[in-house]
Structure 1
């Protein structure tokens, strides 16, 4: 019987956008990819849809309520640490009253051990960071703003998605 610990896991990357070309991003802390910029997201749980995972993870990580969740694409991500994920990317918008992502909420903390802060970044800026990192890795140089591997792979595998948020 095969060792299931070596099977790829499924992650859901959530691109929360404001219909003006901006997305929510934060710096990873504590887990694989620490120090890289990411979108909210997490593991697909047994029986969940991609949309259910996205809504749950966004609420857990940012305190935001999201809707209009749509499948975007998927990437195949093999991390240097030996982890392997299939990352399912979805897009969504904030539907709740709170419009500002939070790292903590009294009396219970959100997940500050996973992300120090959240901020709005333009999709085009994130896209350029991912492109720069992919090119720098080929050239053997470092970049100032390191991106989480699934976002770099999004650029590598789907460079035509530069305008992916238009009309969403």
Structure 2
């Protein structure tokens, strides 16, 4: 019996030329670096989900939440196969001085800021694929 896809929301929290990443502890993508995010709840907007998940996972308050892309991810390597349609958002911090906290240590080894041109390895597969396809969470600089 095939499982229906789930909808996830992942957030590029940006600060200057850095993005917030955490090392996953879940069965899917274990020990890879990923964006904060989670599953969309019934009746929730993408923006509401982004703000809730970032707050739940990092303690950070975000603003200027914008949709930037969507990815289609099928994970067959894990014990439980999973199909996730991930809505990718971008946001900035309400308070740039606020530090991320590891609110869910059972799911993540901790959060830190990484330079977009020098990301840690290994990256979570959907993020790695986006990067290889030339994606950037930063608006193109106008000349």
On whether the aligned pair clears a TM of 0.5, the verdict is yes
| Structure 1: 5+ residue stretches without partners | 104-109, 130-144
Map 1:1-168 to 2 at 5 A: 6-18=3-15, 20-79=16-75, 80-81=77-78, 82-96=81-95, 99-103=98-102, 110-126=103-119, 145-156=121-132, 158-159=133-134, 161-162=135-136, 164-166=137-139
Structure of larger gyration radius: 1
Structure 1 outlier segments of 4+, above 2 Å = none
Describe the superposition over 1:25-83 as per-residue Cα deviations: whole angstroms up to 9, x where unpaired.
01001341110000100001111111100000000000000010000101111112221
- Pairs aligned (count): 138
Name the one with the larger strand percent: 2
| Structure 2: 5+ residue stretches without partners | none
TM-score normalised by L of structure 1:
0.75
Identify which of structures 1 and 2 has the higher relative contact order when contacts are C-alpha pairs closer than 8 Å and 6+ apart.
Answer: 2
RMSD: 2.0
TM-score normalised by L of structure 2:
0.87
Could you tell me how far apart the structure 1 residues matched to 2:40 and 2:10 are? Answer: 10
Name the one with the larger helix percent: 1
